[in-house]
């Protein structure tokens, strides 16, 4: 067996990746995408602080709504390509897997990882909120109850029954139009399995989908050029209407405790990564720096889905594994959000002086494990689930107003954590499926 056949890559792919790596090494850090995004974050924060301190709150609010359009445009550009990317890559990936046994094997590994990771994340949130008790002694007199209505209005749709109904799409076109990733995944699995069962007869269709997916991935390169602009708009818009110093003092206990918890989750994910990937974990982290920063700046893990797909394939995970794992992960494996949900729910209970027994908290954890799946596309999804959970356990839903002012900053960290968790899950399952040598090829 020759060198290229052994690793299932073409000579063109090796030359192409060598050229890309060589080009990257020759450019300075700040001329690359990651450097540009970091500069945009700093400039956005500086501009936002200047605006906040120099004009009236009403004018600052108006400025914020205008400048955030930059972030909205960038995120919409990404959302524009998510549906075709998920559908084409997942169908091609399943068709390449070849049979139901292979899909079941990889799917079983994926779900085992997702639910284990979710449980650990929820448990960490519960542990730190009980140990640090950030809600004890909090003053509730200045809570803005009017700000809660946007979140609580959506809680009626969060239940186990609705979750089960939500899994199956009524129409694939409706699912694609609304970027319901979980529904697209279900349809794509059925479509891919049906295509695989027909054998060579449908090869032209699979080949066409494969070419479409490569076109969409090329679009990713174009869209990512707007990432620094989107991050700049998002950061400037937030700092223009938020007095960060005042927020930091008022919410020091909550935000500080949350950062301790999320940092611990990063340590756990890092240790697990080094256990399974060993030295290649460092390579993975280098590959996903750009997606992590974009997710952090825009508070949207969805915004980096296409870029993360590309980076994981360059890392060496087979495209069929990436196209199968990532869409599932975005519905079932949101580690940062999971940790935040137990943390925020019990924090609100503490603030209202409600004592929750260990048994009640474990029940809450299991409820969150189920009801939180498949709602990644909902704006402020974590808060919606937290509000619904509070309602189930007779905790005042109005308590959401306690964390709304600081939620954006928490969302930055949990979005980046979601990206790390999905990148790690996809890489580990890829290693289990035998794609762990590929990066040695593409980085020669």
pLDDT digits (tens, 9 = 90+) for 264-323: 999 999 999 999 998 899 999 999 998 999 888 888 777 788 889 889 988 988 888 888
Q: What is the pLDDT of residues 416-425, one digit of tens each?
A: 999 999 999 9
The first and second tokens of residue 50, run together, are: 């200047």
**Secondary structure of residue 434 in the 3-state scheme:** coil
**What gap in Å lies between CA 312 and CA 21, rounded to an integer?**
15
Q: Are 35 and 41 in contact (CB under 8 A)?
A: no
Task: Read off the pLDDT of each residue in 392-402 and give the average, rounded to a whole number.
Answer: 77
> Residue 302: which residues within 8 A CB-CB, separation 6 or more?
75, 78, 79, 82, 179, 330, 376, 377
What sign does the dihedral 439-440-441-444 (CA atoms) show? positive
Residue 130: burial class (beta carbons within 10 Å; 0-12, 13-18, 19+): middle
Instruction: Report the Cα 177 to chain-centroid distance in Å.
Output: 20
The CATH classification number of 32-442 equals 1.10.3860.10
pLDDT, tens only, 15-68? 344 434 433 444 454 557 778 888 888 898 899 889 988 888 888 889 988 998
Does pLDDT of 444 surpass 60? no
**Distance between CA atoms of 338 and 81, rounded to whole angstroms?**
26
Whether residue 158 is predicted with pLDDT greater than 60 in this model: the reply is no
Q: Which tokens hold the place of 88?
A: 């084409």
Question: 34 is written with which tokens?
Answer: 């990651």
Burial of residue 57 (CB within 10 Å: 0-12, 13-18, 19+) is: exposed
With 50 as the cut, is the pLDDT of residue 442 above it? no
100-132 and 335-351 helices, crossing angle to 10°: 30
Pairwise CA distance, residues 439 & 290, whole Å = 18
Give, as one character, the DSSP assignment of residue 213. Answer: H
Coil, helix or strand at residue 56: coil
Joined together, the tokens standing for residue 129 give 């909120």
Can you read off the two tokens belonging to residue 13? 């792919």
The pLDDT-based confidence of 435 (bands split at 50, 70, 90) is low
Helix (H) or strand (E) holding 226: none
- Of the given ranges (47-56, 142-151, 387-396), which has the lowest mean pLDDT? 142-151
The answer to whether 432 touches 109, Cβ cutoff 8 Å, is yes
Task: Supply the DSSP string of 371-408, one letter for each residue.
Answer: HTTT-TTSTTHHHHHHHHHHHHTT--GGGHHHHHHHHH
Handedness of CA 397, 401, 402, 406 (dihedral sign): positive
Residue ranges per domain, the chain? Answer: 1-26, 32-442
pLDDT reported for residue 164: 67
Contact 352, 399 (CB under 8 A): yes
Strands (DSSP E) along 223-331, which ranges?
Answer: none
pLDDT > 90: percent of the chain? 16
C-alpha 39 chain-centroid distance:
22
What is the rounded average pLDDT for all residues in the chain?
Answer: 78
pLDDT of 143 strictly over 70: no
Contact of 184 with 176, CB cutoff 8 Å? yes
CB 320 within 8 A of CB 397: no
Residue 233: pLDDT over 50: yes
């Amino acid at each position: 067996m020759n060198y290229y056949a052994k690793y299932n890559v073409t000579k063109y792919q090796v030359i192409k990746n060598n050229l890309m790596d060589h080009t990257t090494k020759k450019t300075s850090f700040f001329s690359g995408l990651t450097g540009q995004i970091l500069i945009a974050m700093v400039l956005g924060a500086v501009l936002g602080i200047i605006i906040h301190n120099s004009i009236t709150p009403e004018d600052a609010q108006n400025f914020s709504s205008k400048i955030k359009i930059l972030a909205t445009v960038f995120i919409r550009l990404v959302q524009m390509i998510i549906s075709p990317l998920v559908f084409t890559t997942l169908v091609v990936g399943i068709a390449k897997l070849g049979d139901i046994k292979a899909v079941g094997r990889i799917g079983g590994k994926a779900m085992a990882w997702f639910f284990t990771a979710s449980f650990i994340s929820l448990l960490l949130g519960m542990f730190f909120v009980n140990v640090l008790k950030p809600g004890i002694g909090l003053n509730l007199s200045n809570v803005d109850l009017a700000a809660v209505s946007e979140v609580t209005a959506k809680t009626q749709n969060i239940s186990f029954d609705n979750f089960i109904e939500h899994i199956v799409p009524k129409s694939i076109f409706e699912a694609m139009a609304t970027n319901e990733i979980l529904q697209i995944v279900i349809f794509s699995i059925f479509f891919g399995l049906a295509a695989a069962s027909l054998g060579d007869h449908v090869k032209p269709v699979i080949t066409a989908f494969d070419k479409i997916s490569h076109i969409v991935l090329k679009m990713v390169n174009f869209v990512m050029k707007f990432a620094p602009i989107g991050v700049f708009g998002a950061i400037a818009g937030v700092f223009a209407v938020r007095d960060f110093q005042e927020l930091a003092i008022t919410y020091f206990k909550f935000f500080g405790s949350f950062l301790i918890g999320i940092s611990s989750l990063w340590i756990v994910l890092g240790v697990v990564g080094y256990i399974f990937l060993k030295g290649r974990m460092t390579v993975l982290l280098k590959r996903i720096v750009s997606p992590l920063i974009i997710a952090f700046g825009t508070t949207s893990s969805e915004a980096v889905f296409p870029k993360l797909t590309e980076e994981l394939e360059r890392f060496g995970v087979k495209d069929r594994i990436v196209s199968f794992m990532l869409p599932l992960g975005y519905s079932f494996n949101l580690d940062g959000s999971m940790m935040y949900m137990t943390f925020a729910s019990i924090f609100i209970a503490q603030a209202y002086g409600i004592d929750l027994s260990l048994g009640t908290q474990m029940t809450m954890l299991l409820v969150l494990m189920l009801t939180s799946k498949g709602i990644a596309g909902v704006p402020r999804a974590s808060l919606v689930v937290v509000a619904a959970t509070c309602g189930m356990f007779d905790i005042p839903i109005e308590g959401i107003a306690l964390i709304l002012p600081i939620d954006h900053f928490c969302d930055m960290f949990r979005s980046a954590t979601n990206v790390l968790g999905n990148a790690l899950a996809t890489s580990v399952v890829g290693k289990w499926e035998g794609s762990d040598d590929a990066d040695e090829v593409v980085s020669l």
